[in-house]
Structure 1
Amino acid sequence: MTDLDLLHFEQLKRDVQAQYLKEHTPSYDDISKWKGIDIIYFQEDLRKKAKGNISEKSFYTYFKNSPVTKLPRIDMLNLLSIYAGFESWYEFKKQHLFAGELLKDDEEISDQDLVEIEKTVSESTILPESEISAQKQNSKKNENADLQKSLIENQTINKNNDLTHAENKDEIKPKKNFVRRNVWALVTSVLVVLTGLLGFKDVIFSKTYKYCFNDADRGVGVVNTLEIKVIKENESPILYKIKPGECFYYSTKDKNLKMQISSPFYEYLEVNRSLENAPDEEIIELKPDDYKMAAYYFSIKDANGDPEELKRKRNQLESLISKNAVIYQIYDNNIYGIERLDKQKYITLVTTPTTSLKNLSVIEMKKDNNGKIISIKFKIATDEKNK
């Protein structure tokens, strides 16, 4: 990567911005100021014209900062170049050459690489003939020494009784040392086992319980992520998040269990269980909040661009959501974490036909005593894999 490549990328961002402005009117002409629904519309146009997508995180990384200090991956550069009207990133640079700039089709070995190769070759050791001869002579000497040694070993050696008696005494000492070492090893092993039992007694003597969750009205698994708080005496609550269709496994040696279960689409439930005679597995039914479910259903319902269906969808959301509702969109990036929308912006977002709506998920939803939705917290996940 060169500084010229970074300058070319800044040119490409301006061309991408100009291409989008030909057919769309975002909140700002400057692409670095786009957020929320502007980014969603841009992603939709990118998928339609260039048959690809960039994540919201990538958008904030490369379009919110100017100038950038690093280039995106080549597949993203090619995708943006195609959107701007070029065959590839190479073709884009070819059409925007700076004075004195040359493009190479293939990468060449740099001068630094050549220096490293020459250094490696020069450090290679080649023995002169004199050293080779010396090595041969040393080899012959070693062979003679080995021959002499083998002859001596083949000779018969007579040992006297005093030498044999001394060797027997030396054999007694290792036996005593062997017994002492084994005693200490046995004591150490016992201590390790006892320490392990004390350290893992909760795991060894605990029991695992399984809790699954069903929709009380429909008799099927819950359709939303559950938050379970386990309340223990004299301890802070422990929070668990259970995905739709999954069961909750909890290991404990306690005799009682207290759980607080909450979800955006189900009514709050507090469960108290005596575990002395409790079954290992249990199904807990949660009562759905049909009003919240209706608001969620109409938010993600695909109207297929049918004007009448879109009108019905807007009317349903108008009646379900309070005019003073507080609505937040959560983002999965460090640059822009949360954005507040009013009721009309939210309805416009979810009634605009885009493929992004299939990834909309509600994090929290609250209603007042009259049944009107007064608070929504949601996010739109990205389809793009981590790069």
Structure 2
Amino acid sequence: MADLEILHFEQLKTEVQAQYLKSHTPSHDDISKWKGIDIIYFQEDLRKFAKGNISEKSFYTYFKNKPVTKVPRIDMLNLLSIYAGYASWYDFKKNHLFADEILKETEEQTEFNPEEADETERISIDTAIAEKPYIKEAIKSDIQISTPDNQNVSDKSIFLETYDTSEQKPLKKSLKNFILGITTGVAAIIAVIFLWQSKIFDTTYSYCFYDADRNAPIQNMLEIKVFKENESPLYYRIKPGECFHYTTKDESLRMLISSPLHENVEVNRSLENAPQEENIELKPDDYKMAVDYFSKKSILGNPEESSLLIKQKRRELENRISDQAVIYQVFDSDIYGIETLDKQKYISLVTTPTTSLKNLSVIEMKTDKGKIVSIKFKITEDDENP
């Protein structure tokens, strides 16, 4: 059955490819060789005609990985079937039956969920076992048990309700509570001493990062390199808008803060009397900021306005990016990790009016003699709508 599903999926991929080629001319006719802008155009077409989307990661997993060893989730199969002109994945298979193949009317299976024990009863049983050890054997064997009043009870919950658990002698109960109190107190003292000893040498410092011109939190990924004496540097990645928390016993801190759109900053701090919370301003690199802005600038609108905006974007990017620039697009896929683009391919990508550009984020950008010479970027996919 699984082999037939894979064969059907290969048929579906062929029809999806044929459907796309009716109105588009990608870099290759073979869908397994599409990459970069071809995939973005295909995603746009899928949104337009099937009202759904598959992620870039899913595309690389199921269209570029050969041979395919499993089929996608049913929602993705339905989406691709609709794009190919069928009502559903079931309808597609019904129109492509192999010899002697029989389809089930429904492919849904109801999973059996074993009944869980009532939490209140479980707690009551555990408490009773702790106070009356002989109950454990009775519950374990699930046989009738007898209370001290010779009352036979077969239901465990009824037994726990009818049995009087307050029969312990006052002296024994008081002794037990006294020992428990002493034990708890000793454990608490040991915990306090341990925490005190660990805190006396370790201190956590928090650093938050702000744009010097806008006085707003940095909204791009930061890289921090912490230098330690006689050791290799430590590297950290800080997500947009988040602060850097660093715990150390050292008396000084030296770190290099790198941002794709700001000037790098080296920070040196004596930690003997330093505040535990500090804001650090990063000066924006106007050249990098401009390239990032024009790369993501929306050009949607009426045809006349869009045409003018596209010309403006192309002119700005042509002026600011070196002809010899090395540009990388990073992918989430394990199969295809990085694609290299030249200057013109990058400009074509970011001047194509697609909804994917709103998810473009710069990972790294380098300048030399007033020109951008290196760009590393990523277009984040929405995995909730594969």
- Tell me what 1:85 maps to: 85
Shift of the 19–101 alpha-carbon distance from structure 1 to 2, 3 Å rule, reads: same
Shift of the 107–291 alpha-carbon distance from structure 1 to 2, 3 Å rule, reads: closer
Q: Following TM superposition, by how much is the alpha carbon of 1:365 offset from its aligned partner in structure 2, in angstroms? A: 0.3
Structure 1 residue runs of 5 or longer lacking an equivalent are 110-142, 148-181
- Tell me what 1:364 maps to: 364
1:229-248 CA-to-partner distances (Å, cap 9, x unmatched) read 11111122111222222222
Contact 1:321 1:373 survives alignment (8 Å): yes
Shift of the 66–225 alpha-carbon distance from structure 1 to 2, 3 Å rule, reads: closer
- Tell me what 1:354 maps to: 354
Q: Distance in 2 between matches of 1:51 and 1:341?
A: 30
- The one-letter amino acid of 2:278's match is E
Q: Following TM superposition, by how much is the alpha carbon of 1:100 offset from its aligned partner in structure 2, in angstroms? A: 2.6
- The one-letter amino acid of 2:84's match is A
1:315-362 CA-to-partner distances (Å, cap 9, x unmatched) read 010001001100011111111111110000000000001111111111
1:292 matched to 2:256? The reply is no
1:307 matched to 2:307? The reply is yes
Name the SS of the counterpart of 2:25 in structure 1. Answer: coil
1:385 matched to 2:381? The reply is no
Q: How many residues align?
A: 313
Shift of the 107–213 alpha-carbon distance from structure 1 to 2, 3 Å rule, reads: closer
Name the SS of the counterpart of 1:266 in structure 2. Answer: coil
Q: Distance in 2 between matches of 1:108 and 1:47?
A: 27
Q: 1:77-226 to 2 correspondence within 5 Å?
A: 77-106=77-106, 197=194, 201-226=197-222
Name the SS of the counterpart of 2:18 in structure 1. Answer: helix
Q: 1:226-265 to 2 correspondence within 5 Å?
A: 226-265=222-261
- The one-letter amino acid of 1:282's match is E
Higher RCO, 1 or 2 (CA under 8 Å, sep at least 6)? 2
Q: Following TM superposition, by how much is the alpha carbon of 1:276 offset from its aligned partner in structure 2, in angstroms? A: 1.6
Q: Following TM superposition, by how much is the alpha carbon of 1:73 offset from its aligned partner in structure 2, in angstroms? A: 1.0
Name the SS of the counterpart of 2:53 in structure 1. Answer: coil
1:89-136 CA-to-partner distances (Å, cap 9, x unmatched) read 111111112233222213599xxxxxxxxxxxxxxxxxxxxxxxxxxx
Shift of the 37–220 alpha-carbon distance from structure 1 to 2, 3 Å rule, reads: same
Q: Distance in 1 between matches of 2:230 and 2:314?
A: 49
- Tell me what 1:155 maps to: none
Q: TM-score, with normalisation over the residues of structure 1?
A: 0.74
1:57 matched to 2:57? The reply is yes
Q: Distance in 1 between matches of 2:223 and 2:2?
A: 49
Contact 2:53 2:385 survives alignment (8 Å): no
Structure 2 residue runs of 5 or longer lacking an equivalent are 110-145, 151-178
Q: Following TM superposition, by how much is the alpha carbon of 1:203 offset from its aligned partner in structure 2, in angstroms? A: 4.4
Contact 1:215 1:285 survives alignment (8 Å): yes
CA RMSD across the alignment = 2.8
- The one-letter amino acid of 1:50's match is A
- The one-letter amino acid of 2:292's match is Y
Q: Following TM superposition, by how much is the alpha carbon of 1:253 offset from its aligned partner in structure 2, in angstroms? A: 2.5
Q: Following TM superposition, by how much is the alpha carbon of 1:4 offset from its aligned partner in structure 2, in angstroms? A: 2.2
Q: Distance in 1 between matches of 2:88 and 2:243?
A: 48
- Tell me what 1:376 maps to: 375
Q: Distance in 1 between matches of 2:321 and 2:21?
A: 33
Q: Which moves more between the two structures, 247-256 or 7-16? A: 247-256
Q: Distance in 1 between matches of 2:227 and 2:199?
A: 19
Percent identity reads 69
Q: Distance in 1 between matches of 2:289 and 2:198?
A: 41
Name the SS of the counterpart of 2:263 in structure 1. Answer: strand
- The one-letter amino acid of 2:370's match is G
Name the SS of the counterpart of 1:267 in structure 2. Answer: coil
- Tell me what 2:29 maps to: 29
Structure 1 or 2, whichever has the larger Rg, is 1
- The one-letter amino acid of 2:375's match is I
Q: Which moves more between the two structures, 312-321 or 220-229? A: 220-229
- The one-letter amino acid of 1:325's match is A
Q: Distance in 2 between matches of 1:88 and 1:354?
A: 27
- The one-letter amino acid of 1:37's match is I
Name the SS of the counterpart of 1:17 in structure 2. Answer: helix
Shift of the 105–288 alpha-carbon distance from structure 1 to 2, 3 Å rule, reads: same
User: Greater helix percent: which structure?
Assistant: 1
